[in-house]
Amino acid sequence: MILYLVKSTVLLALLFGLYKLLLENEKMHHFNRFYLLFALATGLTAPLIQYELAPNATIAGIELDKIDQMVEAPSEYVARSIEPIITAAPSPAETSDNQAASVSNKNFPTGVVLIIIYLSVTMMLFLRFGYGLFEIFASLRKGEKQPTKGAILVLLEESITPQSFLRWIFLNKEDYESGKIGEEILEHERAHIQQLHSLDVIFTEIVKTIFWFNPFMYGYKHAVLLNHEFLADEHVVTKISPKEQYKKKLLEFATSKTRNVLSNNFNYSTPKKRILMLFRTHKKNTLRFKKIITSALFLCFSFIAAIHVNAQTISEMTIEELSETLLQKVESKESLSAAEQKALSQLFARLPEVGITADEEVKVKAEAIDFLNGELEKLRIQMQRKVFAYLDYGKAENNPTLEELQSKYLDIRATNTLLATVYNQVRELQGNTNIAPPPPPLPPSPEMILEKNNQ
């Protein structure tokens, strides 16, 4: 989890940095809108998707395992640094109850405290999100509604800034009836409605509520909302209002207060950025180049965050990892490779390389043998149950089919292969002493069972 959060934060930071560096000040607001939304979604999902590639594969002449090391190293370093802080250390065995209680108090589960803090803050933010929705629908109930072109006006007695949410535009009734709110403002809010900006706001608010601890979430939300205003401003000056006249309207509403975090507000952000953007000029070739380079870097960063080079050798795996890998192969009925069958031997051959003393090696091997003996016993029980179910199904009164018998028989063979592998590793580690009985022979084949039934 920590590794995911670190990789996700790094990817979000890189993609946001690209936006700030290449896109924010350019007049390509539709492209920017979808870039921000995809960057936010990709930054959260790409680290969850792992593309396992061969370590000898290359990209532009660079070996993928080198890229993987560059990506994983800082993340793993941070993860290793944080893990001991949030994980409670196990209490050592003590000779008295008082000593055990003292150690237990010192090793307070910090991880549990952090989870409680996270859940508490998240719940409060969701309540705030729900309250925002409640405020909007409360205004709908008490406001005077007037259908208009492409939207529904909601006129309120209270003093509010013109703002929109979904298909509603919220206005102060007195300002609207006195003509203070001109057609430019209404067209601005219609642009928000027509372009479905409220959906972006809801999405970013939910993501920010869940990942509130990530500082880049606040940058993304601000960028999305500001880009909405650029889009709506561009729509107004293109459709109905000259830039100079619209500039005056922006300055007129500059001191108004924002009302709801879920709505698009006419006066969001300072008018300075929006006015500068209105009068900014651009070259099509420059914009085209920036779109291409940004898209390429976006895909590159996302791909690097998702790739996982399968560069870990069998000898670098722990016994638990090896056992889990082998069990997964049995469940998927894959055959075991020769490298996997010799994996434990390779593991212990590497112990001296990492500074393991002879006594420590004996201790580690003893722990490994205990672990493997436990796995061996589980596999024996599993094997017995599968054989019993197979033979029971094969009885003539059950009318067994060849296909079903073959499926069960292949499952038994896979389990037997794993059982033999673990058995051989235990025998090698224990030096052929005090070895449990070897794996039992396989039951009769499906063909033999059906032949016997037909006699």
Report the C-alpha gap between 21 and 16 in whole angstroms.
9
Report the C-alpha gap between 104 and 224 in whole angstroms.
48
Read off the pLDDT band of 21 (50, 70, 90).
Answer: very high
* Lowest-pLDDT choice from 58-67, 112-121, 264-273, 429-438: 58-67
Tell the residue number behind the tokens 């008490």, with chain if given.
142
Q: Which two structure tokens, joined as six digits, stand for 300?
A: 């590159």
What residue spans of 253-318 are helical by DSSP H? 271-278, 284-306
Report the C-alpha gap between 247 and 269 in whole angstroms.
14
Residue type, 60: A
Cα first-last separation, the chain = 60
Is pLDDT larger for residue 452 or for residue 37? 37
Of 48-52, 284-288, 293-297, 340-344, highest mean pLDDT: 293-297
Write down the domain spans for the chain: 1-28+35-86+284-311, 102-280, 314-454
Tell me which DSSP letter residue 93 carries: P
Q: Which two structure tokens, joined as six digits, stand for 308?
A: 């996982």
The answer to whether 46 and 302 have CB atoms below 8 angstroms apart is yes
Q: What is the pLDDT of residues 147-170, one digit of tens each?
A: 988 899 999 988 888 899 999 999
The answer to whether 27 and 234 have CB atoms below 8 angstroms apart is yes
Burial (0-12, 13-18, 19+ Cβ within 10 Å), 369:
middle
| 162 φ/ψ angles, rounded to the nearest 5 degrees | -55, 130
* Cross-strand partners of 63: 58
For residue 384, pLDDT over 80 is answered with yes
Q: State how far the alpha carbon of 329 is from the alpha carbons of 66, 187, 337, 411, in Å.
A: 28, 61, 10, 11
Q: What is the pLDDT of residues 54-78, one digit of tens each?
A: 544 444 444 444 444 555 555 554 4
Q: Kindly give the interhelix angle for 216-239 and 2-18, rounded to the nearest 10 degrees.
A: 30
Sign of the C-alpha dihedral computed for residues 50, 53, 59 and 63 taken in this order: positive
pTM attached to this predicted model: 0.59
Tell me which DSSP letter residue 20 carries: I
Strands 51-53 and 151-156: unpaired
The answer to whether 29 and 287 have CB atoms below 8 angstroms apart is no
pLDDT of residue 362: 66
What residue spans of 160-315 are helical by DSSP H? 173-177, 183-194, 197-210, 216-239, 243-252, 271-278, 284-306
Report the C-alpha gap between 201 and 183 in whole angstroms.
24
Report the C-alpha gap between 297 and 290 in whole angstroms.
10
Is pLDDT larger for residue 263 or for residue 13? 13
For residue 16, pLDDT over 60 is answered with yes
The answer to whether 366 and 426 have CB atoms below 8 angstroms apart is no
